[in-house]
Amino acid sequence: MSAKTKIGIIICDRYRRCAGGKCLRAMRNREGAFDIYGDLELVGYTTCDGCPGGNIEYAGEEMVKNGAQVIHLATGLIVGYPPCPYISTFKSFLEYRYGVKVVAGTHPIPKKYLDMHTRLGTWEDPAWKPLLEPTMADDATRKAYD
């Protein structure tokens, strides 16, 4: 039996009322950024506390104290309008400060968001490629998350 990977999820504060349905579904089904894991245990779920991420330091510390080995920056930080301008900073900070792996994304990017951001050219900067990669799924899966 393999050991569980303990994860934390930080969502964008714009979605602070989100119940986490898509993230938790993707976690349960090992879809999107969760397709790399076996057994998972969620040890923390919170918001960034709004721009410029006032809760990132505290949330990261608490998640690591609770055993988090990986922190996921929720897909909402990627697909929101506009996408989070601090996502790379959050990722770098959490990795450096707490020595924890940080993954951009949780559930697969819904097709409607991929279509809109493609049309708008939002993610044309090469810096987005590694941030998008964990949540790019096949077309059928993206449609299922619309």
Q: Which domains does the chain have, with CATH numbers?
A: 5-144 (3.40.50)
Q: What is the pTM of this model?
A: 0.94
Q: What is the pLDDT of residues 15-69, one digit of tens each?
A: 999 999 999 999 999 999 999 999 999 999 999 999 999 999 999 999 999 999 9
What DSSP string runs through 93-134? Answer: HHHHHH--EEEE-SSPPPHHHHHHHHHHTTT-STTHHHHHGG
Q: What is the pLDDT of residue 91?
A: 97
